[in-house]
Structure 1
């Protein structure tokens, strides 16, 4: 019989040593018999039906003495396991009396064994086995699991490991292979005795969301699977630890823009377990401001008739796609498309069927979204950005609807240029006024929905721009002209021009031009900042105190234009530009007047 310390130093590798030490901390392992021989699973053939099947892997360890104080078997450790289709295999331990005990039975589905596995009694803070979601049964420590085995079948009993009594003599490990076609091997195995007392968790929680490396919007919730006998969890986010969480989630609400790293561990009164692997998520910058052009004609079924299908990806496009065209006037100053908005008023199931294509006025088509992942559904309002949105989800939420919001372009596997559809980033699509068309192809039958409308949105034009240089008055005042908003053709927003730092108690006015800016000298310090012809607005008094710079001039641009429909520039159109400036009395100055700086405003729809 080998002691635990002897086992650790017998050269079975750092991974094995670390595993048994963590187990010892939890289960009070008092000693392990090591080095059971490896072999093939099954010993011949590829397995098959039986109760139990013939030709199992078998390996016997002779236990000469029991560690003092041991009350049960506390671990069966199997090293270097390989076997395709783990659900074929049942692990069985036979004690010296000839009684066979079910240790771990036919779990793992089509996943494969590949590595070292430790099976321990339930209640020792090991991970309960969950459904395999990849290609491998993850190496690690698992609770004993009887699977669907009926106790007594084939002489194999569902005996809790904590009830398997230590004894001297021959102990035999069996690996029964219940289905043909798959084989494997065992490198070696060990048998450990001790006291099955729960300690600190010996397994790390498995993170479940958000997807590792994914893009998120805030707030976002970090989630993980529970660990047996954990009472709390610690989350480390960017090096800072939030301890003592009682649930399996952690809300992140104030993270900065950029990449963030996190991990989690389980804990209880006996201590903390190992950390999980480090995961990351990305918080993108806020979406850029955008000016959207109104459509109003985009309602229609998706696809236009039927339930889709009929194409051959990617060469032959499906018939009867949704299609809608509307005339777009590009907002003044816009240089790129920021996003495309669309709204599903009737849910379209299975977003993975759909390809969204935008065709510009020249007839060139651009991929927006092409067959994003999965069977999630579209229901409500969405925006497609070049890079300012979220990644498309890789798993559906409980509602099955893709959450409303902004998502990035997704070209999928579309070969750019096929059928004149190019994988063009939104910011690189030519910005021109004219007829723009949205087409939605439905590549698979059986699903449909209804689009309420869609629209193109462009980078918002900048606000009013100050230019030119204000004159300095007799009393040292430099009048400054400004406006919070550009004027709107539809008067959709206020546009008020303010002039501050005017000589107090002086008459003045605001005038404007539609032909351009100027920088011609007015007097010793002032410049005329607008070109003729100009339009004068009404005269007003600056208020304030004579001799001070506390006077102001104000013009409600929308009200003035409404009151004077024949004023210079009318009727206004989106993109029209106005150059404005203030004039006011300053008797000691040249020309007995002075001028403010200038402001340039551009009409928006």
Structure 2
């Protein structure tokens, strides 16, 4: 029986140790397991003309995935056997048809046969595993757990050929996912007993205020871009238990918690306006709302009982175009630094900062709060969306978004050494990167959910403002091999920079770290980035 397993991946590849320390309940929405197919599937010995003609036959297994995928961080193949691993290419295909390279012909240079090593056992190929180039020419050792894994390896596959892309950020929608294994050469054969796929699913929740029954369709992604059920919220002041969302299993409320919704403040009731410039789902979201009233009128929303963690929140507070000039202040989790003015003009055609205020906030007490306050004319609140970015654990270090990968096929893996204890004073960062590269580390006060940086693979896991830690480092190691290392003593740095951003950290405070390296030709930024790391400091 072939098994597809989606696992919450916010803890990164060291999850096996971090899970054991976790004191917070994990969101049940994040865990999925489905089975399909039969055991002991053969890998057809099909050949093909690399890279122009794919092998005519291949191992193919399909699985039903219940919800949208943040990213796939690992594929484990139990009972994988094959001589000459340089023959094999493993591809994962999302329901949309987007195909992702998982492993491409280790050791293959475009001619010849690639690595003569053999697969025999259980192997994991992961977003931040041990890169294949570091294994040398010997036989690939058998992996016995997901913690012993090799990085997604693209080799010299021309990204985009046959629609197969080289991208570690494997995302997609609910539906049928397909795993394919191609054998590009004849004679050597193999099989797979059980494939397992690991990743993280989105947990998100959407609310539309206004006229009952007039909510956007579940295919409408809204501001966060992820389809899902829009829940109608009337003029009730609560408290009331939030209804189940389509992203949750039966009888499961928002994010797996017994969350409650309470609203307070003032309102003139439901407001509707047929704006001819908005159509379809945008009209259903924006053309009806709660009318807050005149200048200074306000409405406050409190959602209690959420799992502790980071959330991306979008508050839609655009007053339809009549009259022009109506604006609304939005504050998320309080404080002037979190306020933003929304509205004041015509529909721009997209849900952006003109219609919607968005922010990533830290929920440390299980409570999310936001307010809408009329600034001029009449203010409205049209709806809101919440996306769970990551759950906190009691462990000191938590990965909050995956590595972007380099052009060389390496996936910089940032880990933490020492402790986050002020008394111990022994915290340091350690990142395995491409050999003989320059780069370093930076940090900030808040996370970013993999925001693209330029047109290449680089992405920010740290929100601005960002501060570079120290100077430029050299990774050492060998050019073309993923054996370089960046290392940095955190405690020594902040002892000499006591007035730096967020320094000195207080007990319970979190800082967010990431590594970068120069990667010439990698899009417009010419850099590659590591995974993000959150450190929470203790006495």
State the TM bucket, normalised to the shorter chain.
Answer: 0.3 to 0.5
TM-score, length-scaled by structure 1? 0.29
TM-score, length-scaled by structure 2? 0.33
Which has the bigger relative contact order, CA under 8 A and spacing at least 6? Answer: 2
